Amino acid sequence: MSKIPIVPVHAASELARYAARIVDRGLAAGPGGNISAREGNRIWISPSGYPLDMIEGDDWVPMDIATGRVERSEPRPSSEFEMHLEIYRARPDVNAVVHTHPPITIGVISAGIREIPPMFPDFVAIAGAIGAIDYVVPCSPELAAAVRTEIADPAMSALLMRNHGLLTVGASVREAYYRTEVIEEAARIFWVARSVGTPQVLTPADSAAIL
């Protein structure tokens, strides 16, 4: 019988820190959202049905990236594990995936707006290239395939998912999380600016000067 993996302390600590922050910042509600990190040939992913701020060290679920095998019986992995696995398979440079339901971002992209424009310098410096997909049924193989198609491009750091949420990737959980936070902040600023006037977004020249 193979040995059941134990989540490394540093991985559990980092995952728990940013999972709790997701809830604290209102980026997911109830058992919504999911988060994972790569460790060698496996990932550690949030369990199904758990609020992100209630996950303890041994709750993180190990999965083999290549085969998709769940490496222990309980708890079950997030129901959206397929899209996480597809990202790790397509992007060796990605070590963390954060999927959230940020309300302002969802509201903006579900109102027919296909992108969150650059509203402030940190957005340009941190968010990276952002793709977008139309609504696809959550937890489905079709969603996993759509996500992989967009995120397979090494330049992509985030994906807007109409009527669903936001997905960000990074070399670390911290990097992926920060991208989530600045994208939601940009969506908030854009929403406010549009409600009172015409948003003044950063130009390509402005962005190039920041990068």
pLDDT per position as a tens digit, 161-191: 999 999 999 999 999 999 999 999 999 999 9
Instruction: Tell me the HSE value of 66 on the side-chain side, using a 13 A CA sphere.
Output: 2
Say if residues 96 and 170 touch (Cβ distance below 8 Å): yes
Nearby residues of 125 by Cβ (< 8 Å), 6 or more positions away: 210, 211
Cα gap 16→190, rounded to integer Å:
30
Whether the CA torsion 86, 92, 96, 101 is positive or negative: it is negative
pTM above 0.75, yes or no: yes
pLDDT per position as a tens digit, 103-162: 999 999 999 999 999 999 999 999 999 999 999 999 999 999 999 999 999 999 999 999
Q: Is the pLDDT of residue 1 over 50?
A: no
The active-site residue, picked from 80, 150, 181, 185, is 80
At the fourth CATH level, the homologous superfamily of domain 9-210 is Class II aldolase/adducin N-terminal domain (3.40.225.10)
- Catalytic, 142? Answer no
